[in-house]
Structure 1
Amino acid sequence: MPRIVCICLSHWPVTRLRRAGLAPERGPLAVAAEGAGGLRLVALDPEARALGLNPGEPLGRVRARIGVQLQVYPADPEADRDSLLRLCRWASAYAPLVAPFGPAEAADGLYIDVAGASHLRGGEANLVTDLAARLARATIPARIALADTPGAAFALARHGGTDRIVVPPGGCAEALRGLPVEALRLDPDIAAGLRRLGLRRIEELDALPRGPLARRFGEALLLRLDQALGRRAEPLAPLTEAAKYAAACGFLDPIGRQSDIVRTARDLMAEIAPRLERDGLGACALRLALHRVDGAVRDLDLGLSRPERHPERVAALVSLRLDRLGSALDAGFGFETVALAVTVTGAMPARQMDLGSTIAGDGVGFLADALAQRLGRGLLRLEPWASHLPERADRGRAWVAKEDHGSLPGMGGGQMLALPPLSSGKGDPCVSRSRERGTRIPKGARPAGRAEPPSAPSLPSPDPLLGPRFPAEGGGKARTIASPWPDHLPPRPLVLFPRGEAALDVLATVPEGPPRRFRWRAQIHKVAHAEGPERIAAEWWREPGAERDYYRIECEAGHRLWLYRDGPHAPDRPAAWYVHGLFA
């Protein structure tokens, strides 16, 4: 039989503000949110309730009615929910099954199923006493009740006569007899309809025939009544299910050094890895829980770009995450328990590896994971976008690893891919790029996506972050890999400005020719070599505009720039020039 503890938190939004130091400890205080007709009160502290205020009242009417100064703060439901979830994780020290209130309760609080765990605290009465004392020390006002069902525990915690109630097993019906019908978590319209009929107590409602009640008020009324009295089961939706792949380690002497935490995380992953390998899975997300001596729990969530189960690699990511936290980790008097759980898994079949090759997954996938843990934010990649204008031809999106990430087959994890030599002619000496930022492609390389000679072996698809790769071939030839980016465009700069920067005092040999000298960023640039033009028409379906003539130029100082002339040159109106990007 379940034994449910219900913790009903009084004015939780106010409590959160005061515990976070965002509101004063004394004085009438209220939290307001936008509602019908303007701002309305949603939470009140005891001093505000003593003034006769109630949740739901319009704020303007309240200010006009009371004579004392009322401190009002805006509601933040997301922050309230996050704080409640942290409290739920703290409460999991009493029992593993913890569930926050749902919409039906229309309040803030949580349930704990302590069946089979209360003896660890000396019995149910001692457990409730200890729980109430800990919440009081943390300045969290709460009403607590323990009963056989969530419905009965909530009714007693919210509408019972005292702040702490323990109902013996099988005593729910007797304990609920005198409570109002609102204690059954009914819709307000149903509760109001029952009161109009003179049905104010649960015992009066339970004594009536069920058929007429169902026809008049619907099945929901009987469902709530039966759940409270234990006639129908009401399963709780736990905060987190028990992880299938998890391990924990306890310490007689608490640990606090980063090296000890990393070593423990590595050992725990080594314990989990065989189970993952047996099922052909890898970890895509992990949670490292650090339990402090004083009961506080610090959870570190690690997201991986691809399935992983190698202990050393996971330990390296944990170390980077702890580096970012620094003193914010706050070990206090030390951590007495460290737990590692795999929260998301992905398929990771066994792979045949060449002799001397490193662990599969070296390369971009691990680099992305390391950067995400160290920087604290996800990575972005560029993808092509249907537009003629360079500034609109790509857009950023969250980078997600694919199956072909990492080193190419047959190559060591640290092996570099050789590039063929650059052309030594007087053509454009610039090193251009594919449309994926940061990929360097020799000018003489074969355009992406074209057919290879029959003798050229095929390679996997390109890495979505770094783009095509070009391993060296005999005779200086280079192979390319199919790319989603257009392969018919001339070279594009490594750095593309969001909008062109004006180039002033431009001198050209002929009006329609390339520039010979110009001033940009307060410096005079003399052109040593220029290639172009590449004409890009305006997108007339978006907005009118002039055609652009782009030139790739190299200055005498060595700068390689991408300039364009905005529209044709006219005697009465010289064409404007802009610098749109940098090759080097």
Structure 2
Amino acid sequence: MTRLQRAGLAPEEGPHALAAVGPGGLRLVALNGQARALGLAVGELLGRVRARIGVPLRVHPAEPEAERDALHRLCRWAMRYAPIVAPFGPAEACHGLAIDIEGASHLHGGEAALLDDLAGRLARSRIPARIALADTMGAAFALARSGRASPALVPPGEHAAHLAPLPVEALRLDAEVAAGLRRLGLRRIADVEALPRSGLARRFGLAPLLRLDQAHGRRAEPLAPLDEARSFSAARGFLDPIGRQSDVIAAARALMEEIAPRLERAGLGACALRLTLHRVDGAVRTLEIGLSRPERGPERIAGLIALRLERLGAGLDAGFGFETVDLAVTSAEPMAAKQASLGGSGAGERVANLADTIAQRIGRRLQRLAPRESHVPERAEGIVSWVAPPLPYPAILPARPLVLFARSEAAQDVFATAPDGPPHRFRWRAREYRVARAEGPERIAPEWWREQAEPRDYYRIECEAGRRLWLYRDGPHGPERPAAWFVHGMFA
């Protein structure tokens, strides 16, 4: 709306709105102050709004490209305060920008003076803004989003106290996730922070944990400057089409040499890349390259692409040749600078290189077992994509069987001398077993946030025939509910 008003396309008097095609028809995507005063909200159907209000509403079509260009012009103007200025993305509804003023605030008389100057210039230009300054981009956005006093200046190290009372919507969560948190009575960021992380991830996914960690500075959130926003890609055309694998590899190496400095300035490394080959006849061949750790070395990337092309062999099918080669970074993560070692690469780096080499040879990413935040045996580990370094296991692990069944198997005809003691005889897989030794019990309670269940009492037993099994009793033994026994695994 500000863009239309500054261009003279929307007079300031009267309610005005922007509309775009959405589910069910035209929906409101932006409103001016007078339209909000009528009780209108972004996302409502235009037809229902017109039927509900009794005053004329001026509706303008949304122009995403024009809005993006206007925001980019504002970002370039904001570079007067600091060189790193990034426009907001979809998570922030693309309505605003972030400025990294670290090391630049003293040039404007300090942080408070910089904020006052920024607010004053925007006000004189008739650009409404809510401004906040904090240690992290997530905290600054949350403070500005909450509608508190603007400009808001949070002293260093105090952002956690200012975040705690803010509504959960300030964490840049999807509307469905925020609504689900509110239905459970979790209305403030402090309420979400107090929950167990494993239960929160199980119920709502990893998004709330990611946004909490970014807001508190526990996870890095590097800004993508305007001139380099999502521009970690390069392309090269050829007057004489290329078809040999060596030419494709050389082109990919040259493209990565062009992309690597941009990644380095942003403090990022590539975790996944896409190589796109455009044939003369219009056919397109795409190769996805996955890495187990952030990387930006042109030689390393070219070597992995060579392995993938070698595996394809004649399947590459260059036809009459490729006239364009594109290389794009599809996933990037923070990559710290490191000192080169005279003794060569470390063990962790050699293992990561081996994993990447094998992945290109077989044509798919590797997987590995990794610990999960759960004390229930069948949920304590899971299969994840191979990453380096691996997720650490706890320093002290309880005794667990070498073979753990995905689903425990019922034990029949269990005989125990004491109702709450270990079994002395039972039948499993159509065979009868007699217990020679038993250790336990180890009580494992269920996860209250997942299901209602009885605690389990686990026993490590050794049968007279020499087999060692892991059994558990599902809940206490009662006169009306006999204890149920299950075999959950086998020791070596």
TM-score, normalisation: structure 1: 0.39
TM-score, normalisation: structure 2: 0.46
